[in-house]
Structure 1
Amino acid sequence: MVEVAADPLRDGAGPKPRPAGPPGAARAAWALLGLNVLGSAGAQTVFPIPRSLIQMVTMGALAAAFALALAVNPRASVRPSAFLFLLTLLLVPSVLSSATLESGFGALFRCGRLTLFVATLWLLSRWWDGGTAFVRTHVRMYFAVLVSVVAGLIVSPGAALPELYGGRLVGALWPLTPPQIGQYAAVVVGLSVLLALDRRTSWGGALAVVVPSLVLLVLTHTRTATIGMLAGLVLAIGSLVLTSSAARRFFAWTVVCAVVAAVGFASALQAWFLRGQSQEYFTSLTGRATVWDALLDAPRTLTERLFGTGLSDKSFGGLPIDNSWLAVYDEQGLTGTAIVAAMYLVLGGVALLRPPSPQRACALFLISYVGISSYTEAGLGDASAYLLHLALAASLLAAPAGDVPGTARPGMPAPPPRPVPRRARRLT
């Protein structure tokens, strides 16, 4: 039986301290969710790995994540969440469209995967209290992936920088594409900087993570991830400027460094940004616009317009869609698009209404990063790293257990605020 998290203040017990962070099993379940959404398609690896084996590993990680979450939360105690409610509602058009088998039996398999993914998030929502424990797990998880990329670069530079991808960095040990590596590096950099500004970790520990991640981001030549990271950090740090002297100093130094880089390395930055592409190819978003136009012009029945054609591999006519909103429209129709838009607006609205805090800054960074990336990357309508980023933002925006309406009894004092750690913790 599923139950909502109980009142932490029992009759006559008086105020109790807020519960500690999530147990290790819950954090391990979160990391396994990250492994599940790494994907099974990408560049050729140094040691060939059958795709079936990769899929077994990723799906096994999802099953293990659900089992761990259920083991550590056997009574299925959950926290109310509008984000998770809307994400669960997204299953309706997904199942309705996939049941027609227009996209094959793989559509039903993806529906089952999305269902298990959402169920695991519901079980983990018990520890969504505005804390940063899952943020640290998120950073460590993706930094471990980046370490594997570095290992592949050392073992076989030719495989890690193949001509097939124009010399851009790929995963040589695990099949990761340049956009994936760029995404992970950008998220690690952004969250690490924000944790360091709040003294949740030392600057030395943060730099040990940020510097190599930035190098990998440069080697991937991923423009979307770079723009998303910069815009997200500007918005997140800007939300702290009025309340944090460290944020003001960091913002000022960042502006100075950006001006110096723009003046002294303008030609190099332009060459990196264009990646040797022609102006015409660049304006068509490296050919994406052609696929988008074909998708929008394709004839559809009323049912397909409302509910889509079923969960697929995010491609149209054999070419990747590379746009979250068009992918959702193609697979889950206008109904799915409206649900995803509502999910995104709820997160953004709650983030803007929250008072300035490091948790709000991290959430703003993730929301803005995913919003920018959704224009050239797919993933908002299915189990993906982008949904995991938004789930992390939702956990950061959740009210602490003692602050949820209805959990404090009239006349009872509020629980004491969570103490700020005196000593910064290490990220790695």
Structure 2
Amino acid sequence: MGSTGGAVPGSGGAPGGALTEGSHGAARPAGPPRAVGVVWLLLGLNTLGSAGAKTVVPLPRSLIQMATMGALVAAFALALALNLRLRFRPSAFVFLLTLLLVPSVISSAQLEVGFGALFRCARLALFVATLWLLSRWWDAGLAFVRLHVRMYVAVLVLVAAGLLVAPGTALPEYYGGRLVGALWPLTPPQIGQYAAVVVGLTVLLLLGGRTTRAGAAVVIVPALVLLAMTHTRTATLGLLIGLVLAIGSLVLTSAPARRFFAWAVVGATVAAVVFSSALRAWFLRGQSQENFSNLTGRAKVWDALLSEPRTVREQVFGVGLSDKSFDGLPIDNSWLAVYHEQGLLGVALVAGMLLALGGVALLRPPSLPRACALFLIGYCALSSYTEVGLGDASAYLLHLTLAAALLAAPAPAAPLPAPGLPRRRVPRWARR
């Protein structure tokens, strides 16, 4: 989002590493090439998934898988073409993500969950390789934030179009009237996640003066409406806690952040008093107290997974990458899913990724990129309790990758050449 209008204006298309001159004559690095944005969009398409709600026009799962996997292959090929010299930027996050391939391959090679495990390993390897190729353009700038917001705004527009075209399909009874994707199979938690991330990043860009109020409102208001229609509690709590962490990091250095924080506290207090019953009904989603206490049946699956007898090899390396289910039921917890598929070694590596990002964020001085990174880290850490994706190619890993790009040390800008002086002929006696 630029400061001159539009909800999501475009970013610069100068070649990566090139230098442009600012308004005060200072040299600053230009944004990544436009093709890098295409790679990022293809990675986002790959993480949309192939299983979800029923759509207006039935889409075969094989066709969706072909589109998502084709997007990943195209993203890798394009990233390799842009970075033929294989220039990488050091990243502890991507390094630990690369190490996560070790338990994934060791466990999947046993074929306990079928040949699909090897396919998912190849997908994860291609995903990680593409991230390494893109790391060349990570410079703690906001270009990737704009790409991220633009990508998920397009997804939300598709969801809203499905709601207008076929409201009955978009609000099905088998999901309790929660919003789903009617044109592309998206579940309510997915839509809630995308809406929450869009709202959080847009609010931070507004506080940082990188977009106008009108442009931010065009994005934030519809995204909040879609988030409310999904009835996704995890995404809502993740949005609130992520914004508290991000804005809290800006309070001491940003007057707009202080004003927003104060008004947000007042608004939340008034809403909690006036709309307490409506908020409680929305939060419970018509569930009984017992069903809510065991997290809609998730606790039973978690207990069964933890009590399952395992060999030492299965405890250390897991059983292989699967469809994130146990006995045919979804696990819905990133840590238990990683333990089940990649073992204790995978859990340690995923924890190391989050700790590395959080530690680097705490060491960085207050800034808008740091605030955006803290929002994404906080959101993914909270969502990991009831969502899966931290151990495999997913939107959550893409969020954390964006955080890593925002926390990368900016490349030093080369000084602009001094203006040339008129050359004079030096007399021969002066040369002697």
2:187 pairs, out of 172, 177, 181, with: 177
**1:151-182 residue CA offsets vs partner (Å, 9 max, x unmatched):** 00001000000000000000000000000000
| Alignment-derived partner of residue 22 in structure 2 | none
| Alignment-derived partner of residue 351 in structure 2 | 341
| Alignment-derived partner of residue 127 in structure 1 | 137
1:100 pairs, out of 110, 113, 133, with: 110
The alignment's TM-score, normalised by the length of structure 2, stands at 0.90
| Alignment-derived partner of residue 19 in structure 1 | 29
Contact 1:402 1:415 in 2 (8 A): no
Report which stretch shifted further, 18-27 or 299-308: 18-27
Moved over 2 A (4+): 6-9, 16-19
Q: CA deviation at 1:183?
A: 0.1
Q: CA deviation at 1:73?
A: 1.2
1:323 pairs, out of 333, 354, 359, with: 333
Q: CA deviation at 1:17?
A: 3.6
The question of 1:367 aligning with 2:369 is answered: no
The question of 1:204 aligning with 2:220 is answered: no
Q: CA deviation at 1:352?
A: 1.0
| Alignment-derived partner of residue 306 in structure 1 | 316
**1:198-253 residue CA offsets vs partner (Å, 9 max, x unmatched):** 11111211110000000000000000000000010011001100000010111111
1:7/1:159 CA distance change after superposition, 3 Å: closer
Q: CA deviation at 1:7?
A: 11
1:353/1:63 CA distance change after superposition, 3 Å: same
Aligned equivalents of 1:329 and 1:169: distance in 2? 31
Aligned equivalents of 1:415 and 1:31: distance in 2? 33
| Alignment-derived partner of residue 408 in structure 2 | 398
Aligned equivalents of 1:112 and 1:25: distance in 2? 24
Q: CA deviation at 1:125?
A: 0.3
Q: CA deviation at 1:256?
A: 1.3
The question of 1:284 aligning with 2:284 is answered: no
Matches within 5 A, 1:169-248: 169-248=179-258
Report which stretch shifted further, 199-208 or 34-43: 199-208
| Alignment-derived partner of residue 119 in structure 2 | 109
Matches within 5 A, 1:259-274: 259-274=269-284
Aligned equivalents of 2:384 and 2:94: distance in 1? 19
1:332 pairs, out of 337, 342, 366, with: 342
Aligned equivalents of 1:337 and 1:159: distance in 2? 38
- 3-state SS in 1 of match to 2:49: coil
The question of 1:167 aligning with 2:183 is answered: no
Q: CA deviation at 1:8?
A: 9.8
Contact 2:192 2:230 in 1 (8 A): yes
Contact 1:117 1:383 in 2 (8 A): yes
The alignment's TM-score, normalised by the length of structure 1, stands at 0.90
Q: CA deviation at 1:110?
A: 0.3
- 3-state SS in 1 of match to 2:69: helix
Amino acid at match of 1:287: G
- 3-state SS in 2 of match to 1:146: helix
RMSD, aligned CA: 1.7
- 3-state SS in 1 of match to 2:412: helix
2:360 pairs, out of 343, 350, 365, with: 350
Q: CA deviation at 1:351?
A: 0.6
Q: CA deviation at 1:263?
A: 1.1
Structure ID, larger Rg = 2
Q: Which of the pair has the greater relative contact order for Cα pairs under 8 Å at 6+ separation? A: 1
The question of 1:251 aligning with 2:242 is answered: no
Matches within 5 A, 1:31-180: 31-180=41-190
Q: CA deviation at 1:19?
A: 3.0
Contact 1:8 1:402 in 2 (8 A): no
Contact 2:170 2:179 in 1 (8 A): yes
Aligned equivalents of 2:415 and 2:203: distance in 1? 30
**1:380-409 residue CA offsets vs partner (Å, 9 max, x unmatched):** 000000000000000000010128xxxxxx
1:265/1:400 CA distance change after superposition, 3 Å: same
The question of 1:30 aligning with 2:40 is answered: yes
Report which stretch shifted further, 17-26 or 39-48: 17-26
Q: CA deviation at 1:268?
A: 0.4
Q: What 5-or-longer segments of structure 1 have no aligned partner?
A: 1-5, 10-15, 404-413, 417-428
- 3-state SS in 1 of match to 2:218: helix
Q: CA deviation at 1:18?
A: 4.1
Matches within 5 A, 1:407-418: none
Identity %: 76
Aligned equivalents of 1:173 and 1:58: distance in 2? 15
- 3-state SS in 2 of match to 1:285: coil
| Alignment-derived partner of residue 425 in structure 1 | none
